[in-house]
């Protein structure tokens, strides 16, 4: 299990803890931070059906962390590159909708995990800054275990 500072969601899930996430569709970082301050372990930024664009998501992730919760981003349908960017921006987890077959699942993992599990490219400087991680080698070693990827399986 990862010991990355500033990353607790994966560790808590692995310990069997029930996690409640506040859900935010409005692209206002102050709202996401307020939800975080209400005691939710995590807050989900909804890019799929919400109004969150890239700039608001970057600010929202930082606001959620400032509020003491783990930021999660639900990306738009098929937007696996956006999932990778959300992790680079400091999200602890990403949710991908409509994962309907093995190929979808593999594409999602490929975009969100570093080799050997996936093909995520390097660029987590914002994530490291927000989490207080100074050692890029430690982040690279532990990021696959420290980040959560949630596939929404919505069909038979």
Identify any residues that bridge with 91 across adjacent strands, giving them in sequence order: none
The structure tokens listed for 146 are 């420290």
Catalytic (active-site) positions? 49
105 prior amide bond cis, ω within 30: no
The answer to whether 133 and 125 are in contact (CB under 8 A) is no
Contact 51, 26 (CB under 8 A): yes
């Amino acid at each position: 299990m990862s010991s990355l500072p500033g990353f607790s969601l994966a560790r808590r899930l692995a310990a069997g803890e029930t996690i409640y996430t506040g859900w935010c569709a409005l692209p206002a970082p102050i709202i996401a931070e307020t939800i975080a301050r209400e005691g939710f372990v995590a807050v989900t930024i909804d890019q799929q059906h919400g109004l969150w664009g890239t700039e608001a998501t970057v600010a929202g992730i930082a606001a959620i962390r400032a509020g003491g919760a783990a930021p999660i981003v639900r990306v738009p349908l098929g937007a696996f590159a956006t999932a990778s960017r959300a992790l680079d921006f400091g999200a602890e987890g990403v949710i991908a909708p409509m994962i309907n077959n093995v190929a979808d699942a593999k594409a999602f993992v490929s975009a969100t995990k570093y080799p050997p599990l996936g093909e995520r490219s390097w660029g987590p400087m914002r994530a490291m800054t927000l989490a207080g991680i100074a050692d890029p080698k430690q982040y690279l070693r532990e990021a696959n275990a420290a980040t959560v990827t949630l596939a929404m399986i919505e069909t038979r």
